[in-house]
Amino acid sequence: MGGNKMDRETLLEKMEARLLTEAKKTMEKASEKEKYHALSKVVMEEIAPNWIQSEERFTNSKKAYYLSSEYLMGRALTNNLINMQIKEQVEEILEAEGMEFDALEEQEEDAALGNGGLGRLAACFLDSAATKDYPLMGYGIRYQYGIFKQEFNNGFQVEKGDDWTRDGDPWSVKRRDRAVTVQFHDEEVVALPYDMPIVGYGKNTINTLRLWEAHGKKAFDLETFNRQDYQGALEEEIKASAISKVLYPDDSTEEGKILRLKQQYFFVSASLQDLIHKYKETHEDFREFHRFHAIQLNDTHPAVAVPELMRLLTTEEELSWEDAWEVTTKTLAYTNHTLMAEALEQWPVDFYKKLLPEIYEIIHRIHNQLLVELRDRGISSPEEFQIIHHDSIKMAWLSIYGTHSTNGVAELHTNLLKNIELKHWYDLYPDRFNNKTNGITQRRWLLKSNPELSELITELLGGDDWVVNLEKLQGLRKYGEDEKVLERFDDIKREKKRELADFIQIHEDITIDPESIYDIQIKRLHEYKRQLLMAFYILDRYYRIKDNPKEEMYPRTFIFGAKAAPGYFRAKGIIKFINEVKKLVNEDPDMRGKMKVVFVENYRVSYAEKLFPAADLSEQISTAGKEASGTGNMKFMLNGAPTIGTYDGANIEIVEEAGEENNFIFGLRVEDIESIRESYDPKVPYEKVAGLKRVVDTLVDGTFDDENTGMFQDLYDALLKGAHWHKPDHYFILQDFEDYRRTQRQVEEAYRDRKNWMKKAWANVAGAGKFSSDRTIEQYAKEIWELQKG
């Protein structure tokens, strides 16, 4: 094996050797799972030499480091083989030996290291940086159980531990030699790193994702064990290991909040210590540290990097405060992912004093330094800038002040940051603010998940350059009226729809019609994403059909996929409500041939790879001004699904690229919301919009049963009464309902003209070039990190 070729005999011999030594089985006797592990380890052997060479090649270069609490990586086997450009060869070799490659791929557990767009964006960035020859290393936590494995029990979300490494993890290398100690006030924790290779497409660049696992300083106390205190002998290890057990542990209690804070400091401190240790191997002057390191904070979860880097530089490396501050701000950069004030992270001062007293003192000093700077600049009322305010630490303020760059992730988002949400900071530091519209990697979201469409694109463009330069898709525009091309495109879409129908039949035990409109909303469950609006529409459509059975309706399959955070009561209520609607619709014989509802269980990357290519319609219906960007909208677009959505996030740029006439925009815009916010009364649409009251009242009139949890009453009250922290219908679901319903009628009318619909779908594919994470990472590398290619 070597280069871009895989030698048949060597591959099979190495797999056989792995099976003999690790499973004590021959190829004939091995299970699919065992063959998958053997193949993966052989592929890792192929990766390793280039991985080491890549690290050596960038030894004296400036490198970037991505600090993120999430990495939603997806399966590695096929993605790595595609990027190594040997997938077809490996597939042919295995299938010649009677092994089904797809069956082996299905044995891989999704690495449970993320939940939503934040983590998937991080994964796309790592892929793009390696492909574009930029040295970017990821740092995070190696969660044992990740977010959770979602199950539905009578319509309620139930969280089960997702022990994704229970059968081993062939894609990680334990690096005990790089372990470091993280110090809390009354506890020392060992951070043990595991390295995962990030293979760039068709290149020799292989970057690293380093994930930290937490262990007790004294993992086992023999003396205590010999006193028959068996639990006490393991107490330190149990307490420490909790830090890397679960992504986003339930933080509805103080203990849960403390654990989250521990997680943040744990991986940030370990990562910064790691960088400092490596720097000291070849350098002495820490005043030059920023010339070799660019560190990106992915949202505010790693914001404690500001005081922690100050601590390490001043206390450990003995820089003056002034020199350390200059190095820190020049090294660190911050990505803001939210416009919602309630989502801008804050921590009680008491938590920091209790857990990280030294870090708190540094934050307090930074806070005072800012106040002096504001005074010197003639700002007489500094309250809105205060990092420590009302006994809370504002992590977004700390991130802005302690870095040299703050970026939004879509044009609208960045403009709202500069002009409204963070205007006071923008006025203070205009040079620090910039936009980096998010992107997705076309290697996973088209080349891997939709090979049939990929082949058509390659044929039409006369080559596969688009795989590393998605802007080439513009060349597809000239085929927008070509009936033969559109027919082939339609055939591919129909095939992907049949594949999804088969998959859903097996995994959800629901039969869906491949000839129906696949109307899909898949994303993290949050009120602002308005899964509830779509559920209300489905229920309204159901009642209208019941009232008028002869009403024409193009058959439609509504598909949801989402997980709610374990402590997010209202989001769990929405899941239960959707599942109640699903049960009502699917069990009613009058709906046969008209409507089906699917809520896919345990939505994850490998499931998403089947959903995006099959979609006819992309639901991007967040309240305008709430979705910073979105990346699912880009994956739908790339696979030829028009968007029904609000003028929000990257939707705006999507319709600019593909044409508003090829998408379906509805609802209030940001400026509309601002103009009615104070006067808005949701009881007006509730009472006056035909059919709306009927569907909303099902929350409380006994139509559906939430088993006395209070979930549905809470949803009803949130819409019509509000709560102590928000006004009624805070996300304008009722206000936007009528326009959403009207626009859905437009969707149905447009879909009846299938030829014209495929033109809309094709325009979306051809316009998707801007939304590659390759483009985004080039902008980060040149405009924020100042990196050179390898």
Q: Which of 443, 448, 529, 604 is catalytic?
A: 529
In a 3-state reduction of DSSP, which class is residue 602? coil
Positive or negative torsion for Cα 668, 674, 675, 679: positive
Token pair, residue 569, equals: 């009561």
Q: How far apart are CA 590 and CA 596, in angstroms?
A: 11
Cβ 49 vs Cβ 2: under 8 Å: no
CA distances in angstroms from 503 to 89, 137, 638, listed in the order given: 26, 35, 21
Maximum Cα interatomic distance, the chain, rounded to a whole number of Å: 81
Shortest CA distance to 347 belongs to which of 292, 288, 387?
A: 387
E strand or H helix at 706, and its extent?
A: none
- Displacement of CA 113 from its chain's centroid (Å): 10
Q: Which of 41, 524, 594, 760 is catalytic?
A: 524
CA distances in angstroms from 201 to 126, 198, 543, listed in the order given: 11, 10, 51
Q: How far apart are CA 238 and CA 220, in angstroms?
A: 10
Q: Which of 337, 497, 563, 594 is catalytic?
A: 337
Look up 631 and say whether it is catalytic. Answer: yes
Look up 262 and say whether it is catalytic. Answer: no
Token pair, residue 271, equals: 């990562």
Look up 175 and say whether it is catalytic. Answer: no
Q: Per residue in 75-97, is it b (16+ CB within 10 Å) or e — as a string?
A: bbbbbbbbbbbbbebbbebbeee
Q: Which of 14, 523, 541, 594 is catalytic?
A: 523
Count the Cβ atoms, other than its own, within 10 Å of residue 584. 17
In a 3-state reduction of DSSP, which class is residue 148? coil
Cβ 496 vs Cβ 452: under 8 Å: yes
Q: Which of 441, 631, 646, 776 is catalytic?
A: 631
E strand or H helix at 12, and its extent?
A: helix 8-22
Cβ 197 vs Cβ 208: under 8 Å: yes
Look up 752 and say whether it is catalytic. Answer: no
Look up 529 and say whether it is catalytic. Answer: yes
Residues in the chain: 790
- Displacement of CA 370 from its chain's centroid (Å): 33
CA distances in angstroms from 502 to 74, 75, 84, 513, 561, listed in the order given: 21, 21, 30, 10, 17
Q: Which of 497, 635, 730, 770 is catalytic?
A: 635
Look up 5 and say whether it is catalytic. Answer: no
Q: By 3-state DSSP, what share of the chain in percent is helix, strand and coil, each rounded to 5? A: 55, 15, 35
Q: How far apart are CA 595 and CA 586, in angstroms?
A: 8
Among all residues, which ones are annotated catalytic? 337, 523-524, 529, 631, 635
